[in-house]
């Protein structure tokens, strides 16, 4: 159900105007009884004119119905287009938020990784050159939270 609601509304107005013109023409033709001439042809003319007026009035009603249906369709299209725009806006916001959150988490992870690497380098540096079985292992371990 895509389309241009304004274009559909313009068509609805055009059809409504056609209904008004048809109704006006039916009103002008609806005076068959005012025909003064008397003859067999006059009687047939009045009957045909009456049928034509009734058909024109019925057509005007159908045109009114069509104009109303087109206007309803235009409203439905406008509503659907608004729903699409709302969904797009919401999803774009969700995507932006997810990117921002991921960026924040990666930044936090990078900082935590740097902190862990610094700790690991410090621990590696502290034990470099300490021979196996040396008492300094106990001292170094206690400095870093080791409990006996």
The answer to whether residues 67 and 8 touch, using CB atoms and an 8 Å cutoff, is no
Confidence of residue 31 (pLDDT cuts 50, 70, 90): low
Confidence of residue 35 (pLDDT cuts 50, 70, 90): low
Average pLDDT over residues 76-80: 96
Average pLDDT over residues 60-73: 98
Question: Is the confidence at residue 18, as pLDDT, over 90?
Answer: yes
What is the largest distance, in Å, between two alpha-carbon atoms of the chain? 139
Q: Tell me which residue has tokens 């409203």.
A: 75
Domain ranges of the chain: 5-127
pLDDT of residue 59: 97
């Amino acid at each position: 159900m895509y389309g241009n609601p304004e274009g559909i509304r313009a068509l609805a107005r055009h059809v409504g105007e056609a209904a008004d013109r048809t109704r006006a023409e039916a009103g002008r033709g609806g005076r068959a009884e005012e025909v003064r001439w008397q003859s067999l042809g006059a009687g047939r003319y009045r009957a045909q004119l009456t049928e034509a007026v009734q058909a024109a009035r019925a057509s005007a009603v159908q045109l009114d119905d069509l104009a109303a249906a087109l206007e309803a369709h235009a409203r439905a299209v406008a509503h659907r287009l608004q729903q699409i725009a709302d969904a797009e806006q919401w999803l774009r916001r969700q995507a932006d938020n997810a990117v921002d959150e991921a960026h924040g988490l990666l930044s936090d992870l990078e900082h935590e990784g740097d902190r862990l690497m610094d700790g690991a380098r410090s621990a590696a540096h502290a034990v470099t050159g300490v021979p196996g079985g040396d008492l300094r292992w106990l001292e170094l371990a206690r400095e870093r939270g080791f409990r006996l």
